[in-house]
Structure 1
Amino acid sequence: MRLLVVCLGNICRSPMAEGVLRARIAASTLAGEVELDSAGTGDWHVGQPPDRRAIVKAAEHGVDITGLRARQLDATDYQRFDWLLCADRANLRDVRARMPQGAHARAALLLDWAAGGGEEEIPDPYTGGSEQFEHVFQLLDHAAEGVIARLRQELAERAR
């Protein structure tokens, strides 16, 4: 199973999500079964590390995202990944608008796909402070439980 987490610039939400998901999946029975990456719909930060506040917040929770680098969503992602999991509706609209004919990937809101527990979108913490980054981290950490459950179900269905 291959998952791509998508946000706007790929320096806050999606690298935090990639880091949390990597850590939680590695600690689960799904270790080695899932390919993860993240991307942004915009190109402003390509090649840059995650926002320092995202790095700090992830590290406070034992998740290292320092090695990640921002990249922009491209046409090959629609064939390479099974799911493009978007942080918010604007990103989902952009991802769907760019989707080429015959694409393999399906697109959804991350929190909907993961049964996120009430909130539908992951708010962009970029203009906020530590509290906003903590809120986003908590949403993503909770969503990781739903992602793991969903992946187990999807992988079991594929094995049938």
Structure 2
Amino acid sequence: MRVLFVCLGNICRSPMAEGLFRQMLQSRGLDSRIEVDSCGVGDYHAGEPPDPRAMREAHHRGADISELRGRVIRLNDFEQFDYILCMDEDNLQALRRMAPETRRAHVGLLMDFADEGTGAEIGDPYFGSTDNFGRVADQIEAGCQGLLEHIERQEASD
């Protein structure tokens, strides 16, 4: 199983999602069975580390994302991943425009998996205050928790 988290530049939301989801997987002993990555729709920050505010918030929640580096989505990601989950509607539309018709991956919003936020977007905290990163991380954790429960239910029924 492979999961790819996507945001605009891959320095705030998607690396936090990657780190927080990895942490959830490790705590349940699933990290060897589910692979996680993140990327951006745009190449604005390719090769750069996550935003320091994102690193601080992830670290505060027990996840170290300091080694991650931004990358842009590739066409083969649509074949290599089972889930490609983005943070907002703009990025979802961009992914749908570039996705091959024969894609393997489920492409959708991360918050579709959250109990309280079906269809909700995770806003970009980049231009906001540090407090925005805490709210975004709360949303990401809710989406990741719902995703993990979905995957566990799916595996139990197989």
Aligned length: 157
- Segments of 5+ residues of structure 2 without an aligned counterpart are none
Per-residue CA shift, 1:102-130, capped at 9, x if unaligned? 11112010010x22413601110000111
Whole-angstrom CA distance in 2 between matches of 1:29 and 1:145: 15
Partner of 2:142: 142
Whole-angstrom CA distance in 2 between matches of 1:31 and 1:22: 7
Partner of 2:12: 12
Partner of 2:70: 70
Q: Tell me the TM-score normalised to structure 2 length.
A: 0.94
Are the counterparts in 2 of residues 9 and 41 from structure 1 also a CA contact under 8 Å?
Answer: yes
Partner of 1:46: 46
Q: Secondary structure of the equivalent of 1:121?
A: coil
Partner of 2:114: 115
Question: Which deviates the most, 27-36 or 5-14?
Answer: 27-36
Are the counterparts in 2 of residues 116 and 139 from structure 1 also a CA contact under 8 Å?
Answer: no
Q: How much is the aligned-residue C-alpha RMSD, in angstroms? A: 1.2
Q: Which amino acid aligns with 1:78?
A: F
Whole-angstrom CA distance in 2 between matches of 1:48 and 1:60: 21
Q: Tell me the TM-score normalised to structure 1 length.
A: 0.93
Per-residue CA shift, 1:57-108, capped at 9, x if unaligned? 1111211000100000010101100111010001100001000131111201
- Segments of 5+ residues of structure 1 without an aligned counterpart are none
Are the counterparts in 2 of residues 12 and 54 from structure 1 also a CA contact under 8 Å?
Answer: yes
**Sequence identity (%):** 41
